[in-house]
Amino acid sequence: MKTIETTVMVNEIGQFTLQLPIGVAPGRHRVVVVIDEVVESDPADISDDIDAAFAAMADDPEYQAEALQIEREFSTAQWEALQSSEVEG
């Protein structure tokens, strides 16, 4: 017996599609569906996930190396843009 817990979108006529994991043999299976309350996305949860991803970037050596490389590649263009804006301003 396998237990699969997931969130599904039910359409207007009460249907949903479930993708089973690899390893479930073709053929007849007994399936039990439990309908829980409607799951809503909480914007605070999404914001927390984004904040956590940004925080992880600070400790990611690959990201840091890439950010430094980008900074080096654009440093001349940034300096020229700053000088140009000072002349125009």
Position 42 scores a pLDDT of: 66
Domain ranges of the chain: 43-88
Task: Give the C-alpha separation, 81 to 69, whole Å.
Answer: 19
**Is the distance from CB of 4 to CB of 20 less than 8 angstroms?**
yes
Position 13 scores a pLDDT of: 93
Instruction: Identify the DSSP state of 37.
Output: S
Position 44 scores a pLDDT of: 67
Task: Give CA separation, 25 vs 20, 28, 63, in Å.
Answer: 10, 9, 41
**pTM surpassing 0.85?**
no
Q: Which residues of the chain have pLDDT under 70?
A: 39-45, 88-89
